[in-house]
Amino acid sequence: MKIGNKIYFDYNATTPVHPEVAKLMNKYYLQTFANAGSAHSFGMDAFEGLDWARSTCAQSLNGKKEEILFTSGGSESDNLALQGVISRYRTIHPGKTPHLIIDTIEHPAVFETAKYLESRGVSVTRLSVDAEGSVTPEQVEEAITPDTALISIMYANNEIGTINPIAEIGKIAHKHGILFHTDAVQAYTKIQIDTKSENIDLLSVSAHKFYGPKGVGFLYVKNDPDAQKNESTASHLLDPLMYGGSQEYSMRPATENIPGVVGMAKAIELSGNDFEEENARLRGLRDDLIDHILQEIPDTRLNGSRTHRLPHNVNICFQDVFAYDLMIKLDNAGIMCSVGAACHAGDTTPSRVLLGIGLSSEQAESSMRFSIGRWTTQEDVDTLLQLLDQYVPSMRR
C-alpha cells in the first residue's frame, strides 16, 4: 500500500480503516448518533446498529449475541478475561489459591496481567514454547493442578505469526473442567474460528487489526446452554472490572461506542466477503518474501513456523545485522516495518518472544518483522526485496 511514496509493511501493528468502514462510522457519528439506551426513535435507531454489530460479531465465530461483550480492544478483553475469571474463582472458592496457565510468549496484555495477578497471590505457570513458538496440549495437561482456574494460550503470536493447536488445547481444558481463554487478536479474520468446535470459552478480538477502528474490540464469553434466550451468563464465569450502568449485561458499563462497534462489524462483514481469496493472496506474497530472503540473502533464518503461520506475517533474522539500523534505513527509503513488537517503538531490548523460541540476544536484535495486508501488492514486495538485497550485505557487523 502506498501512502504518498511510502510503503506500509506493518499490518501486525495496526491497519488503516477500510474506506467503507469509515463511511459507515461517519453516519453513526453524524446522523445515528443517539444513546442506544434512549427510549425515543433516535435511540432505537442507534440500538439497531448496536444489535446488528453484536449479531455480526457473534456469527463470525459461531457464537450467540449474548456471548459478545464490547470492549475498548484487545488489552481490555484480555484483562477482563484473566482478572474477571480469577476474581470469580476467588468468590466461588474462598481460601483457595487460584492457578493460571499461560505461556512465555503471550502479548503483554496477557503476560503483564498474569504478573499483576501473581503479585496479588495467584499462582502462575508460564509454559515454555518450542523452537517454532508453539505450545503443545500435553504441556498444558501436565501443568494443570486441582486449583487451575484458567488456561490462556494465544491463538497466534503477534511477532512471529505461529499458530497454536487451539482446538486440542481447548479439549484438554474441558476434559479437566477448566475455562479456556485465547487471545485471537492477530488470528481473527485470518483464520476461520469456531468457538464451539474449538472448545473456546473466552476469546479476545481487536478491530484495528482488521481494518476497523482503534480502541474497539470484544470479548467472547461462552454462554450456559441452559440460559434463557437473550440472557448472558458471563457473570457466572467472570466478575466485571468496572461498575456502573447496565450496558453489556453490566459486565462492561459505559455508554456504548456505537460508531466503533458498527465500524468493527462492517470490517468483519468485508473480511468475510473474500476471506479465502484474500488470505490465499497474502499467503502467496508471504511465501515470496520468505523464499526470496532465505534463498538470495546468506545467513538469514525464518523465525516461527513455516507451516503453522499467519498468512500475513514474516519474521526474519539477518545474522550480524543490527535490525534497528536496517529498519531506519528502510524507513528512510520509504518502507515501514518493525523490530520486535511495534507497540514498543524505540525499545531495542531483545524481544521476549524471540528469546522464548531460543534465539540469542544477538539474533533477537538482528530480527525484523514484515507484515502485509489488503493493500500490499506484488510490486511492494519486489521493492522491499530489492532494498534488502542491496542493504543487508553492507550492514553486517
Whether the Cβ atoms of residue 180 and residue 170 lie closer than 8 Å to each other: yes
CB of 71 to ligand PLP, least distance (A): 9
* From candidates 109, 143, 258, 310, binder to ligand PLP by CB under 6 A: 109
- Within 8 A by CB and 6+ apart from 10, the residues are 336, 337, 338, 342, 369, 371
H/E stretch holding 67 reads: none
**C-alpha cell of 381?**
514486495
What single-letter DSSP state applies at residue 216?
-
Residue 21's nearest CA partner among 160, 208, 287 is: 208
One residue of 186, 300, 338, 363 binding ligand PLP per CB under 6 A: 186
- Name every residue whose Cβ is closer than 8 Å to that of residue 196 and which is 6 or more positions away in sequence: 62, 63
Q: Is 343 a catalytic residue?
A: yes
Active-site residue, from 57, 317, 337, 343: 343
Q: Is 74 in the site for ligand PLP (CB under 6 A)?
A: yes
Segment lying near ligand PLP (by CB under 6 A), choices 42-50, 67-75, 97-105, 366-374: 67-75
Say whether residue 232 binds ligand PLP (CB under 6 A).
no
- Shortest Cβ distance from residue 287 to ligand PLP (Å)? 22
Count residues contacting ligand PLP (CB under 6 A)? Answer: 15
- CA angle 340-321-129, nearest 5°? 40
- Does the footprint of ligand PLP cover residue 183 (CB under 6 A)? yes
Q: Which among 20, 45, 64 has a CA at the least distance from the CA of 218?
A: 64
CB of 208 to ligand PLP, least distance (A): 6
CB closer to ligand PLP out of 47 and 188: 188
Q: Residue 152 or 186: which CB sits closer to ligand PLP?
A: 186
Smallest distance, Å, CB 114 to ligand PLP?
13
Strands 217-221 and 68-71: antiparallel
Q: Is residue 162 involved in binding ligand PLP (CB under 6 A)? A: no
Identity of the residue, 109 or 336, whose beta carbon is nearer to ligand PLP in the bound complex: 109
Which of 206, 366 has the CB closer to ligand PLP? 206
Q: Site for ligand PLP (CB under 6 A): which residue of 84, 212, 213, 217?
A: 217
Supply φ then ψ for residue 392, to 5 degrees. Answer: -55, -50
Q: Which residue is nearest to ligand PLP (CB)?
A: 74
Q: In what order do the strands lie in the sheet with 2-3?
A: 2-3, 6-8, 335-336
Q: How far is the CB of 289 from ligand PLP (least distance, A)?
A: 20
- Choice between 152 and 195, CB closer to ligand PLP: 152
What's the Cα-to-Cα distance from 370 to each of 202, 247, 373, rounded to whole Å? 29, 39, 10
Residue 73 in the binding site for ligand PLP (CB under 6 A)? yes
Please give, one letter per residue, the 3-state secondary structure of 222-268: CCCCCCCCCCCCHHHHCCCCCCCCCHHHHCCCCCCCHHHHHHHHHHH
Q: What is the Cα gyration radius of the chain?
A: 21
DSSP at 133: S
Which window, 70-78, 122-130, 234-242, 376-384, contacts ligand PLP (CB under 6 A)? 70-78
Closest approach, Cβ 279 to ligand PLP, in A, equals: 18
Grid coordinates 506484488 are at which residue?
A: 378
Q: Which is nearer to ligand PLP, 107 or 374 (CB)?
A: 107
Compute CA distances 132 → 51, 63, 230, 242, 301, whole Å: 40, 31, 42, 38, 12
Cβ closer to ligand PLP: 156 or 327?
156
Residues 338-357 that bind ligand PLP (CB under 6 A): 343
- Binding segment for ligand PLP (CB under 6 A), chosen from 38-46, 183-191, 224-232, 321-329, is 183-191
Binding piece for ligand PLP, criterion CB under 6 A, among 21-29, 178-186, 248-256, 262-270: 178-186
CA-to-CA distance for 161 and 186, rounded, in angstroms? Answer: 8
**Residues in contact with ligand PLP by the rule CB under 6 A:** 73-75, 78, 107, 109, 154, 158, 183, 185-186, 206, 208, 217, 343
Catalytic residues: 343
